[in-house]
Structure 1
Amino acid sequence: MAKVGVLPLVQNETIKILKKRRFLVVLLILLVLIPIFTYAQMKVSQNNRKQFGTDDWHKIIQQQITDSQNRLGSARVPEEWKRMIKVQVLQLQYYLDRDVDPSSPNAVTFTREFMENAVTLFIPLMVMIIGSDLVSSEHSNGTIKLLLSRPVQRWKVLLSKLLALTLFVSLIVVCTAAMSYLISGLVFGYGGWTMPVFTGFQINGSDVDFKYVKAIDQWLYLLMELGLVWLSAFVVACMALMISVLVRSTAAGMGIMLATLITGSILSNMASSWESAKYLFMLNLELTNYLSGSLPPIPGMTLGFSLTVLLVWTAGAIITSFWVFTKKDVLN
């Protein structure tokens, strides 16, 4: 019997994913939610103009700095939030001193901020929709026996699923960014590609080191950000694939991934005193924070540390998936 190559298997897996219409569901979700977020951002801009009585962004930023400094004097504000506020104040002042609007109303800025906020929960949930049943659905539908009766090695079958999943991870990230830009541009305009954005902020406790800060064009910043978002989404995809191999029920697999992602979102706001939590992959998904200079969930975390943790988890998920899939009696 002739050996079956990986490429035809990838094509077959891609067709199966498209036939399930999960990717269409993802596109519809984006098509519904992005206009809502765009409208919300527009209302925020309008409320700022009403509140501060001006369209001058300099005065708006200065007032935000003043309000934040007043909050620092309140005994009701937790110390963790105070550290975050201090960092934000220093960064806003840095932008103000250099006459750069950090939230200029345009489609590129909206896309950049949307992708930064979507990296930990929104995009991982979109990826989970695609990847949570790649293997478990084969058991549910009874097609696993037909699939493995072909003259193909099991590792090739799983590799084809992983490659097809990687393709759809890329499509989800690209489609999210493209739709954010196209839809928000109807409201804010399609400019902002060459607007300067500062990166390289080094966070030391509640202080910011500006030694390595440099201005880059926003298109380059957005490209770097999309690379980090894709990496986080790929990690989630590998974890979803592993759960799909380990758990034969699609509903159970989706429940496990959903609980994991929500737990990570909650812990990112609560785990500063639990230092060991920094080794959980969920707390390291916010890679874009290192690009923008936001405070990490746990003090001491760096981009290199988070990349290492994610690499270890990803390698572990892939190895576990292939070992279980090739050794487990999947025909019963």
Structure 2
Amino acid sequence: MNKMINLIRNENMKLSHSISTWIMMGILILSIVAAGIILKFGINEAPKSDWKQDIISENESIKEQLASQEIPQIQKDSFEKRLQTNEYRLKNDIQPIEDKSLWGFVEGAVGALISLISLFAIVMGGGIVANEFSGGTIKLLLIRPSKRWKILVSKYISVIIYTLLMVLVLLVVSFLLGGILFSFKGTGLPFLTNLNGEINEVNMIVHIIQVCGLKCINLVMMVTLAFMISTVFRNSAMAIGTGVFLLTVGNTITMLLGRFNWSKYILFANTDLTKYSTGEPLVEGMTIEFSIIVLIVYFIIFNVISYIGFTKRDIVA
């Protein structure tokens, strides 16, 4: 165990001494600040209105659309849930979360910038092994008494740790900046969930952590995929390029194939677990349990391939 901890510490030191590591962290923080400034000063704020009256008007519009027989069933179910949630707000005097508010900014920042962290994670995961081969430093690692699989695991854990650190920075900085720009008032407002007609009030901090946690599943899977390609092909450009390509078009391709039942077995059909909170999975009949099982299978496959590619092949100078 001590050897593994030392290996992880060594990999973390490498990352901390890398200029690119701090550049990525700086870009993330600057992106949060830029988003806050643009939202605060760059977007003209609409005149203040009575939120209750706005919801009443929205409900009237929803009822008119529900009266139409031409809307599809999925959209009809969505309208009914929206109407039920709005009526609960009016009954219990719970104001919706505004975009220009603390929680509105935090939720928006998490939704928008998690993709940026995914990109950075792919860069790290795709280069942490391949760069050892391209730089010729892999032999310096392998002459140590540590087993190959321990070296591989330490690199993987280090990338995951740094990725989660960036997520933590995103949460903390967006919260502090959101409070400074939009005030810390309204921190006690709850988030309303509507599952199968049952509405629950969820603490916003808990909600944000839940959303962030679910989105981190996609982060981990993308890092694992890039890490596998880097380990097998020992080429950082291929690993990063493939990872970025799949991150960019993976969801789009999966949506295009969504009409086929077999598409539910595609990785990107299962990485976004937040869709189950809205009740709209990609393929009808998919459940969160099914997606978790599929993700575990992909996770095991990716790591087994990485293990074989790193431990069973000869190291050529």
TM-score by length of 2: 0.85
Which secondary structure does the structure 2 equivalent of 1:197 belong to?
A: strand
Shift of the alpha carbon at 1:102?
A: 3.0
Matched with 1:300 is: 285
Gaps of 5+ in 2: none
Q: How is 1:211-250 mapped onto 2 (pairs within 5 angstroms)?
A: 211=198, 213-250=199-236
Would the alpha carbon gap of residues 304 and 237 (structure 1) be closer, same or farther in structure 2, given more than 3 Å must change? same
Q: How is 1:1-332 mapped onto 2 (pairs within 5 angstroms)?
A: 5-42=3-40, 46-47=44-45, 49-50=46-47, 54-63=48-57, 82=75, 86=79, 89-90=82-83, 93-94=86-87, 96-97=89-90, 98-104=92-98, 105-119=100-114, 121-199=115-193, 201-202=194-195, 209-211=196-198, 213-267=199-253, 269-291=255-277, 293=278, 295-332=280-317
Would the alpha carbon gap of residues 99 and 294 (structure 1) be closer, same or farther in structure 2, given more than 3 Å must change? farther
Would the alpha carbon gap of residues 215 and 15 (structure 1) be closer, same or farther in structure 2, given more than 3 Å must change? same
Would the alpha carbon gap of residues 217 and 28 (structure 1) be closer, same or farther in structure 2, given more than 3 Å must change? same
Shift of the alpha carbon at 1:69?
A: 7.2
**Separation in structure 1 between the aligned mates of residue 84 and residue 255 of structure 2, nearest angstrom:** 20
**Separation in structure 1 between the aligned mates of residue 25 and residue 54 of structure 2, nearest angstrom:** 36
Alignment check: 8 A CA contact 2:254 2:266 kept: no
**Separation in structure 2 between the aligned mates of residue 253 and residue 176 of structure 1, nearest angstrom:** 25
Which secondary structure does the structure 2 equivalent of 1:330 belong to?
A: coil
Shift of the alpha carbon at 1:164?
A: 1.0
**Separation in structure 1 between the aligned mates of residue 273 and residue 263 of structure 2, nearest angstrom:** 16
Shift of the alpha carbon at 1:175?
A: 0.8
**Separation in structure 1 between the aligned mates of residue 38 and residue 280 of structure 2, nearest angstrom:** 25
TM-score by length of 1: 0.81
Deviates more, 1:143-152 or 1:63-72: 63-72
For residue 27 of structure 1, what is the amino acid of its counterpart? M
For residue 196 of structure 1, what is the amino acid of its counterpart? P
For residue 86 of structure 2, what is the amino acid of its counterpart? Q
The sequence identity of aligned pairs, in percent, is 25
Would the alpha carbon gap of residues 175 and 323 (structure 1) be closer, same or farther in structure 2, given more than 3 Å must change? same
**Separation in structure 2 between the aligned mates of residue 115 and residue 326 of structure 1, nearest angstrom:** 37
Shift of the alpha carbon at 1:155?
A: 0.5
Gaps of 5+ in 1: 203-208
Would the alpha carbon gap of residues 9 and 129 (structure 1) be closer, same or farther in structure 2, given more than 3 Å must change? same
For residue 17 of structure 1, what is the amino acid of its counterpart? L
Which secondary structure does the structure 2 equivalent of 1:311 belong to?
A: helix
**Separation in structure 2 between the aligned mates of residue 254 and residue 73 of structure 1, nearest angstrom:** 50
For residue 181 of structure 1, what is the amino acid of its counterpart? F
Would the alpha carbon gap of residues 65 and 34 (structure 1) be closer, same or farther in structure 2, given more than 3 Å must change? farther
For residue 231 of structure 2, what is the amino acid of its counterpart? V
Which secondary structure does the structure 1 equivalent of 2:258 belong to?
A: helix
Alignment check: 8 A CA contact 1:132 1:253 kept: yes
Shift of the alpha carbon at 1:115?
A: 2.1
Alignment check: 8 A CA contact 1:95 1:102 kept: no
For residue 323 of structure 1, what is the amino acid of its counterpart? I
What is the CA deviation profile of residues 256-309 of structure 1, one whole-angstrom value per residue up to 9, with x for unaligned ones?
Answer: 001111122323654432332222222322223334x26333333332222222
**Separation in structure 1 between the aligned mates of residue 270 and residue 80 of structure 2, nearest angstrom:** 20
**Separation in structure 2 between the aligned mates of residue 269 and residue 57 of structure 1, nearest angstrom:** 35
For residue 315 of structure 1, what is the amino acid of its counterpart? I
For residue 201 of structure 2, what is the amino acid of its counterpart? A
For residue 307 of structure 2, what is the amino acid of its counterpart? F
Matched with 1:206 is: none
**Separation in structure 1 between the aligned mates of residue 73 and residue 135 of structure 2, nearest angstrom:** 49
**Separation in structure 1 between the aligned mates of residue 254 and residue 81 of structure 2, nearest angstrom:** 17
**Separation in structure 1 between the aligned mates of residue 77 and residue 166 of structure 2, nearest angstrom:** 31
Deviates more, 1:301-310 or 1:314-323: 301-310
